[in-house]
């Protein structure tokens, strides 16, 4: 990428063209060990969540690449509480799945499953995988890592092949600008639709109906087996008599 770097919160000196960029609402989830919190962290700042119970539905508010960005920190959270409140109060443009590059853990594998289980299958169209690294040379091996790791390939395929890389401190403004561009592109791909409480409630209702249907089927099967056993037993008694 050529040209002088932009500051994330800088104002353009050229006012001849007024470009209106969308407000973005982002939810980060995954392993919080993939992130280094600190005052230089552009997305999360110093809000290190030591315990999942400290999860808040109040997003952090930032100005990144001329966009107003709301960031909800869900890293380390694998509990379902507060989700109802979150999705019914916020419209989420993108879910960012944070994964440490080259160090895929069992928790990482379960992270996307958790999101899909809680938010429904439709949430996958709003997901971007964010691979974090400590040394820049690690980025050179990402394609090889994807090729030799079928689990990682499957995760990426579930998310429509969308991924981005950034350093663990999330303090590189160029990388954050590219991430914002990717989120905006995803927003356009989804025809300016966000993940909403309506989607969540519909998915939850359908999941509940399916579970009830499965439960009724199991009950019916159990009754049929009981009836068959009873009839068989009675038949044997008649024969024995």
Domain segments of the chain as ranges: 24-195, 196-241
Q: Which residue has the higher pLDDT, 10 or 68?
A: 68
| pLDDT of 196 strictly over 50 | yes
| Amino acid 192: pLDDT | 93
**Is the distance from CB of 119 to CB of 203 less than 8 angstroms?**
yes
Are 90 and 59 a contacting pair, CB within 8 Å?
Answer: yes
pTM attached to this predicted model: 0.77
Architecture of domain 24-195: 3-Layer(aba) Sandwich (3.40)
148-192: per-residue pLDDT in tens? 788 888 888 999 999 999 999 999 999 999 999 999 999 999 999
Structure tokens at 154: 């499957």
Long-range contacts formed by 117-122: CB under 8 A, 24+ apart: 118/80, 118/83, 119/83, 119/87, 119/95, 119/195, 119/200, 119/203, 120/199, 120/200, 120/202, 120/203, 120/204, 120/206, 120/207, 121/203, 122/195, 122/199, 122/203
Residue 22 tokens read as 């969308």
Let me know: does 239 contact 231? Beta carbons within 8 Å.
Answer: no
Residue 97 class from Cβ within 10 Å (0-12 exposed, 13-18 middle, 19+ buried)? buried
């Amino acid at each position: 990428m050529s040209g002088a770097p932009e500051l994330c919160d800088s104002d353009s000196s050229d006012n001849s063209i007024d470009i209106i960029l969308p407000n973005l609402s982002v939810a980060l989830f995954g392993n919080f060990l993939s992130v280094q919190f600190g005052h230089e962290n552009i997305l999360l700042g110093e809000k290190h969540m030591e315990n999942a119970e400290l999860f808040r539905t109040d997003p952090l508010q930032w100005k990144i690449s001329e966009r107003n960005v709301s960031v909800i920190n869900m890293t380390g959270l694998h509990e379902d509480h507060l989700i109802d409140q979150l999705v019914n109060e916020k419209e989420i443009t993108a879910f960012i799945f944070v994964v440490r590059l080259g160090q895929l853990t069992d928790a990482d594998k379960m992270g996307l499953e958790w999101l899909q289980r809680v938010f429904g299958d439709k949430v996958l169209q709003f997901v971007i995988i964010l691979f974090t690294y400590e040394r820049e040379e690690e980025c050179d091996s990402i394609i090889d890592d994807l090729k030799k790791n079928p689990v990682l390939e499957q995760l990426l395929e579930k998310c429509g092949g969308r991924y981005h890389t950034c350093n663990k401190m999330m303090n590189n403004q160029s990388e954050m600008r590219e991430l914002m561009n990717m989120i905006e592109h995803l927003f356009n791909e989804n025809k300016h639709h966000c993940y909403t409480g309506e989607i969540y409630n519909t998915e939850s209702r359908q999941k509940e109906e399916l579970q009830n249907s499965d439960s009724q089927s199991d009950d019916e099967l159990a009754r049929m087996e009981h009836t068959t056993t009873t009839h068989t037993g009675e038949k044997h008694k008649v024969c024995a008599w």
